[in-house]
C-alpha cells in the first residue's frame, strides 16, 4: 500500500506540474488512420497512440506498449466565385507513444506522447486585411505542430482518467531601429541598425478525458479540451536622423508601429461519445462535440502608427504629414456548434497470425461563421466528411516481437457545399460572392505493440 501511495504521489506531482503539447491540425483532419477512418468518433474506445489527442484516458485501456508512426496529407480544392483560392495543402508526420504499466499488481497507469510535425513548417501565423476573403479554417490554422504528453490512471477497473496541460507559444517582438535614414535613396543610402527582443511566449491549455466501460461490450467517453489563441505582437520604433540628399540639413524623425493579430484560435471543446461492440467482430461508435466557436477572436490585426518629423523649412512644401490612424478589427461573431460523428469497424478476416479490419465514418460540421455582410470576409461553409479505411494486424511475430505490428490506412473526402455571401452595401469593395469546394485527405500509419 505504501508503494502504491508513493507512486500515486509521483504521478500526482507530475500531473500538477506540466506536460507539453501544442496546436491542433488534428481538429480539422484527425490523428492516425484508424481514428480518422472512423470519422473521429473514437473518444469512447480509443487505446492507440491517437488517445493523446482524442481521449488521454484511453492510454491506459490497452495492455500493449505502443509505438506508432504515420503520415497524412490533406489537399484543398476551395474556390471563391469559381477562382481557386490556392489554400496550401497540409501534410506531415505523426509519431506517438502509449506506455501502460502496472505497479503493485493492481495500480495501472500510462504515459503517452503524441507528435505531429508538418513537413513544411512547425507553425505559421498570418493576418490579412479584413477586406480580403480568406478560408478561415483551412488557410492557416492547420499549419501548426502538435506535441502532447499525457498521463492516465485506471480506477476500479471500469473508469479511466487521463489528462495533461498542453501549451504552445505566440510571438512578441520588440524592435528598435536607429541610424541614418536617407529619404532620397531609402534602400541604398540608409544606414540603420536594429536591436530586437523576440519572445515565443507560452500559452497553456488543459485536456482531460474519462472513459467508463461498465461491461466489455459498452464504453463511454467524455473529453474536455481547452481553448487557446496564437498571437503575433510587434512593437517597432525607428528613431533616425533623416537625410534629404543635401536639400536640407539632417533632421530627426520618429516612427512607431504596434501590430497585433490573433491567429489560429482553437475554441474549447467537450466531446461525449459511446462505443458498442455487440460482437467481437463489430463496433459502432457515436460521438457529439460541442465547440465554443462564439469565443472566436477575429484574426484581423490591430495596428497603431505614429510618425513625428521635425521638418525643416526647406522641405515644408514637399513633405506633408497627414493625420495617421491605425486599424481595429471587427468582432467575428461566430456561433457555438455541435458536431455529430459516427464510425463503424468490422473484422473482415481473422486467423491465428493476422487480423484485417475495415472501417467507415462520417461527421457533419455546420459552419459557425455568420454571413459576411460587412467589410469582413471570413469564408467558411458547412463540412460533410466521409471516410473509409482498413487495418492489417500481424500477431504471430515471436521471437522478435511479443506483440503485434499493425498497418492502417485511411481516405477522407469532405464536401463543402457552396455558400453565397451577400453584402449589405452596394459599394462594398469585395462585393457578393459564392464559396465552396472539396478537401481530399489520406494517410498511412504503423504501430508496434509490445506485450
Number of residues engaging other proteins in binding (CB under 8 A): 93
Q: How far apart, in whole angstroms, are the C-alpha atoms of residue 20 and residue 223?
A: 18
Q: Find, among 34, 100, 67, the residue nearest to 448 by Cα.
A: 67
Contacts with other proteins in 67-96 (CB under 8 A)?
A: 67
Q: How far apart, in whole angstroms, are the C-alpha atoms of residue 385 and residue 40?
A: 10
Query: If binding is defined by CB under 8 A, does position 325 make contact with other proteins?
Result: yes
Query: If binding is defined by CB under 8 A, does position 33 make contact with other proteins?
Result: no
- Per-residue cell: 316: 515644408
Query: If binding is defined by CB under 8 A, does position 326 make contact with other proteins?
Result: yes
Contacts with other proteins in 369-428 (CB under 8 A)?
A: 398-402
Residue count of the chain: 451
Quick note: the x/- pattern for other proteins over 334-373, rule CB under 8 A, is ----------------------------------------
Query: If binding is defined by CB under 8 A, does position 62 make contact with other proteins?
Result: no
Q: Give Cβ neighbours of residue 287 (< 8 Å, ≥ 6 apart).
A: 40, 41, 42, 43, 44, 221, 271, 272, 273, 274, 340, 341, 342, 343
Query: If binding is defined by CB under 8 A, does position 252 make contact with other proteins?
Result: no
Instruction: Single out the residue of 198, 247, 316, 331 in contact with other proteins (rule: CB under 8 A).
Output: 198
- Per-residue cell: 94: 505523426
Q: Looking at 127-135, 154-162, 361-369, 380-388, which segment touches other proteins (CB under 8 A)? A: 127-135
Quick note: the x/- pattern for other proteins over 106-125, rule CB under 8 A, is -----x-x---x---xxxxx
Query: If binding is defined by CB under 8 A, does position 126 make contact with other proteins?
Result: yes
Stated as kind and residue range, the H or E segment containing 31 is none
Query: If binding is defined by CB under 8 A, does position 262 make contact with other proteins?
Result: no
Phi and psi angles of residue 20, each rounded to the nearest 5 degrees, phi first: -85, 150
**Cβ atoms 438, 77 nearer than 8 A:** yes
Instruction: Single out the residue of 86, 252, 280, 429 in contact with other proteins (rule: CB under 8 A).
Output: 429
Nearest distance from residue 192's CB to other proteins, in Å? 4
Pairing of β 218-225 and β 191-215:
antiparallel
Nearest distance from residue 7's CB to other proteins, in Å? 6
Contacts with other proteins in 167-186 (CB under 8 A)?
A: 167, 169, 171, 173, 175, 177-179, 181, 183, 186
**Cβ atoms 262, 307 nearer than 8 A:** no
Query: If binding is defined by CB under 8 A, does position 20 make contact with other proteins?
Result: yes
Query: If binding is defined by CB under 8 A, does position 234 make contact with other proteins?
Result: yes
Select 196 or 420, whichever has its Cβ closest to other proteins.
196
Select 332 or 414, whichever has its Cβ closest to other proteins.
332
Q: Report cis status (omega within 30 of 0) of the bond before 399.
A: yes
Query: If binding is defined by CB under 8 A, does position 255 make contact with other proteins?
Result: yes
First to last CA, the chain: 26
Q: How far apart, in whole angstroms, are the C-alpha atoms of residue 415 and residue 164?
A: 34
Q: How far apart, in whole angstroms, are the C-alpha atoms of residue 52 and residue 110?
A: 11
Select 166 or 213, whichever has its Cβ closest to other proteins.
166
Query: Rounded to an integer, what is the distance from CA 257 to the centroid of its chain?
Result: 29
Q: How far apart, in whole angstroms, are the C-alpha atoms of residue 154 and residue 58?
A: 10
Amino acid at each position: 500500500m505504501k508503494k502504491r501511495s508513493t507512486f500515486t504521489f509521483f504521478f500526482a506531482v507530475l500531473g500538477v506540474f506540466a506536460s507539453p503539447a501544442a496546436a491542433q491540425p488534428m481538429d480539422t483532419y484527425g490523428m492516425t488512420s484508424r481514428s480518422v477512418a472512423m470519422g473521429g468518433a473514437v473518444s469512447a474506445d480509443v487505446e492507440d497512440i491517437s488517445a493523446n489527442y482524442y481521449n488521454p484516458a484511453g492510454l491506459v485501456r490497452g495492455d500493449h506498449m505502443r509505438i506508432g508512426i504515420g503520415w497524412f496529407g490533406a489537399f484543398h480544392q476551395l474556390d471563391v466565385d469559381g477562382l481557386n483560392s490556392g489554400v496550401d495543402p497540409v501534410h506531415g508526420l505523426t509519431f506517438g507513444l502509449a506506455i501502460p504499466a502496472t505497479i503493485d499488481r493492481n495500480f495501472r497507469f500510462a504515459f503517452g506522447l503524441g507528435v505531429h510535425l508538418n513537413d513544411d513548417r512547425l507553425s505559421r501565423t498570418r493576418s490579412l486585411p479584413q477586406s480580403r476573403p480568406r478560408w478561415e479554417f483551412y488557410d492557416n490554422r492547420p499549419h501548426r505542430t502538435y506535441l502532447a504528453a499525457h498521463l492516465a490512471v485506471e480506477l476500479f477497473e471500469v473508469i479511466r482518467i487521463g489528462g495533461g496541460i498542453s501549451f504552445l507559444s505566440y510571438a512578441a517582438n520588440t524592435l528598435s531601429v536607429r541610424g541614418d535614414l536617407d529619404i532620397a535613396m531609402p534602400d541604398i543610402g540608409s544606414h540603420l541598425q536594429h536591436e530586437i527582443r523576440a519572445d515565443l511566449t507560452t500559452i497553456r491549455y488543459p485536456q482531460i478525458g474519462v472513459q467508463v466501460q461498465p461491461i466489455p461490450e459498452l464504453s463511454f467517453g467524455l473529453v474536455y479540451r481547452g481553448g487557446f489563441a496564437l498571437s503575433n505582437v510587434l512593437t517597432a520604433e525607428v528613431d533616425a536622423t533623416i537625410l534629404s540628399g543635401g536639400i536640407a540639413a539632417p533632421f530627426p524623425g520618429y516612427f512607431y508601429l504596434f501590430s497585433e493579430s490573433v491567429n489560429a484560435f482553437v475554441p474549447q471543446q467537450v466531446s461525449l461519445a459511446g462505443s458498442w461492440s455487440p460482437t467481437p467482430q463489430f463496433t459502432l461508435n457515436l460521438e457529439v462535440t460541442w465547440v465554443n466557436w462564439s469565443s472566436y477572436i477575429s484574426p484581423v490585426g490591430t495596428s497603431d502608427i505614429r510618425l513625428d518629423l521635425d521638418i525643416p523649412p526647406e522641405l515644408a512644401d514637399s513633405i506633408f504629414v497627414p493625420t495617421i490612424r491605425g486599424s481595429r478589427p471587427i468582432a467575428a461573431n461566430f456561433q457555438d456548434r455541435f458536431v455529430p460523428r459516427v464510425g463503424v469497424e468490422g473484422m473482415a478476416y481473422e486467423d491465428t497470425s493476422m487480423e484485417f479490419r475495415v472501417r467507415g465514418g462520417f461527421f457533419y460540421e455546420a459552419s459557425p461563421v455568420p454571413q459576411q455582410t460587412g467589410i469582413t470576409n471570413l469564408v467558411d461553409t458547412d463540412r460533410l466528411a466521409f471516410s473509409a479505411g482498413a487495418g492489417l494486424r500481424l500477431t504471430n511475430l515471436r521471437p522478435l516481437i511479443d506483440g503485434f505490428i499493425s498497418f492502417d490506412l485511411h481516405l477522407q473526402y469532405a464536401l463543402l457545399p457552396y455558400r453565397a455571401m451577400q453584402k449589405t452595401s452596394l459599394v462594398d469593395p469585395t462585393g457578393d460572392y459564392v464559396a465552396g469546394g472539396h478537401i481530399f485527405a489520406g494517410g498511412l500509419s504503423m504501430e508496434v505493440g509490445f506485450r
